[in-house]
């Protein structure tokens, strides 16, 4: 109207066109997330991860708190900052929790009941990771009590009057609890992201699923109970999602099914936990193996150099298992050195990390099964409530920051796919 009667009809026509486009596509909810280039799913062939048909090696980290910290929208900038910082160090995979069962800000409030507000926080984590070129290893339940874990599932079964046992290990054998967990898995895998519009099972931002963080079934040290659960749940996940890789989440201990390897365990107790690295990892639907590295938890009388020597033996043993027996990649999905050790010095962390990363690099260079490692844990300033005696802000430790970038760059040099190399080109050129 202001422009005059002569321009009225063209303006109305243009406005109608805009309205039509908005009504047709306005529900895609992509306004804050611009369109990214097409991503490919990570696959595996024998002992190697593949991306676009070419070998992929991983340098990454743990930030278990990403979903929990994203529930409050005002705290989301810290999540974005952590993912951006990871990308700037050349890191490509972050392991984080895709569960919070019962309790404060629970994703799963009770069996079959979910908090949409928390699910949207997980939507945000996945969408934001995609923006920064980070893939996510998403863990589905905890063996420990933190964030609910198997203990919460057992409580729910008792509250509903269907529990067979008060033992936490009934999580693995109680039919009702198995149904609870399967419902959870189905709900998560088929979730349609409210930001990207992509179902989780169809989103290549997800590197892989992890069945459980550090599964143990100590009530059955033979390992049969846990093995049965792993076989059933891995097959169930693959029946829903054939796009993504799957790992268990093991700590890497050898059980009674691997007697020749028992001497590699830290102590005798490690063979009585109901898990067995080789036997469990040999399940058909398990695509790659997982190992954790915590000599501080496993030994109480060893000095730093003795622990470092043991870690070298531990890492080499599992790479050998995967090279020669399992024929699958191995990911060291948690490793850390506690700052609570009596003889702790900050410089020890760089030495400890380098011991692990050097072995992985040497394996990768000769196309072995050592596929990568994820440090426990990184966070950003102002997040002390999520810290433990292993965590650190990487740029506050120059030697760790430098080592992290060094590992990212040397792994990039032995990879051939252009997508990852382009992301690291500028970073690594500064080091050459």
Q: What are the backbone angles phi and psi of residue 204, rounded to the nearest 5°?
A: -70, -5
- Catalytic pick among 128, 210, 334, 420: 334
Q: Which 3 state secondary structure label does DSSP give 334?
A: strand
Residue 115 structure tokens: 């908090």
CB 157 within 8 A of CB 180: yes
CA–CA separation, 313 and 300 (whole Å): 18
Query: In DSSP terms, which residues pair with 260 in a beta bridge?
Result: none
Only one residue has tokens 């079959």, namely 112
Question: What residues contact residue 114 under an 8 Å CB cut-off, 6+ apart?
Answer: 107, 108, 187
Q: What is the dihedral of CA 279, 141, 244, 362, to 10 degrees?
A: -60
Question: What residues contact residue 165 under an 8 Å CB cut-off, 6+ apart?
Answer: 154, 174
- 385 annotated active-site: no
CA–CA separation, 35 and 33 (whole Å): 7
Q: What is the 3-state secondary structure (H, E, C) of 127-185?
A: HHHHHCCCEEEEECCECCCCCCHHHHHHHHHHHCCCCCCCCCCHHHHCHHHHHHHHHHH
Q: What are the backbone angles phi and psi of residue 43, rounded to the nearest 5°?
A: -120, 180
How big is the chain, counted in residues? 432
- Catalytic pick among 214, 251, 406, 420: 214
Distances (CA, A) of 353 to 2, 338, 375, 382: 68, 12, 8, 24
- 214 annotated active-site: yes
List the catalytic residues.
214, 334
């Amino acid at each position: 109207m202001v422009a005059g009667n002569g321009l009225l009809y063209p303006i109305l026509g243009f406005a109608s066109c805009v309205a039509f486009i908005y009504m047709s596509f306005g529900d895609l909810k992509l306004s804050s997330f611009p369109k990214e280039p097409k991503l490919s799913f990570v696959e595996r062939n024998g002992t190697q991860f593949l991306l676009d048909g070419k070998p992929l090696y991983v340098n990454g980290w743990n930030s278990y708190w990403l979903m929990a910290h994203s529930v409050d929208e005002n705290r989301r900038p810290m999540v974005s900052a952590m993912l951006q910082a990871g990308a700037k160090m050349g890191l490509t995979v972050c392991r984080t929790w895709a569960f919070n069962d019962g309790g404060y800000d629970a994703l799963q409030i009770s069996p079959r009941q979910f908090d949409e507000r928390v699910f949207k926080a997980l939507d945000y984590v996945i969408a934001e990771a995609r923006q920064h070129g980070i893939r996510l290893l998403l863990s589905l339940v905890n063996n420990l009590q933190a964030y609910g874990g198997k203990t919460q599932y057992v409580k729910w079964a008792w509250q509903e009057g269907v529990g067979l046992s008060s033992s936490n290990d009934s999580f693995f054998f109680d039919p009702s609890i198995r149904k609870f967990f399967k419902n959870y898995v189905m709900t998560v895998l088929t979730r349609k992201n409210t930001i990207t519009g992509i179902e989780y099972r169809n989103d290549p931002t997800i590197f892989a699923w992890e069945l459980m963080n550090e599964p143990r079934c100590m009530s059955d040290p033979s390992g049969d109970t846990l093995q049965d659960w792993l076989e059933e749940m891995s097959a169930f996940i693959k029946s829903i999602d054939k796009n993504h890789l799957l790992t268990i989440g093991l700590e890497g201990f050898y059980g009674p099914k691997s007697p020749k390897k028992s001497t590699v365990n830290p102590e005798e107790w490690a063979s009585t936990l109901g898990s067995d690295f080789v036997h469990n990892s040999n399940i058909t639907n398990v695509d790659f193996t997982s190992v954790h590295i915590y000599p501080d938890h496993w030994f109480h009388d060893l000095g730093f150099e003795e622990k470092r020597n043991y870690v070298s033996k531990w890492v080499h043993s599992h790479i050998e298992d995967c090279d020669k027996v399992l024929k699958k990649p191995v990911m060291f999905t948690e490793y850390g050195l506690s700052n609570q050790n009596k003889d702790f010095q900050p410089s020890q962390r760089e030495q400890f990390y380098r011991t692990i990363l050097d072995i992985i690099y040497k394996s990768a260079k000769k196309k072995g099964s050592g596929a990568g490692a994820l440090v426990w844990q990184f966070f950003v300033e102002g997040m002390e409530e999520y810290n433990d005696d292993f965590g650190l802000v990487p740029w506050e430790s120059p030697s760790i920051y430098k080592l992290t970038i060094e590992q990212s760059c040397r792994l990039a040099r032995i990879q051939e796919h252009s997508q990852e190399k382009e992301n690291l080109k500028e970073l690594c050129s500064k080091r050459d």
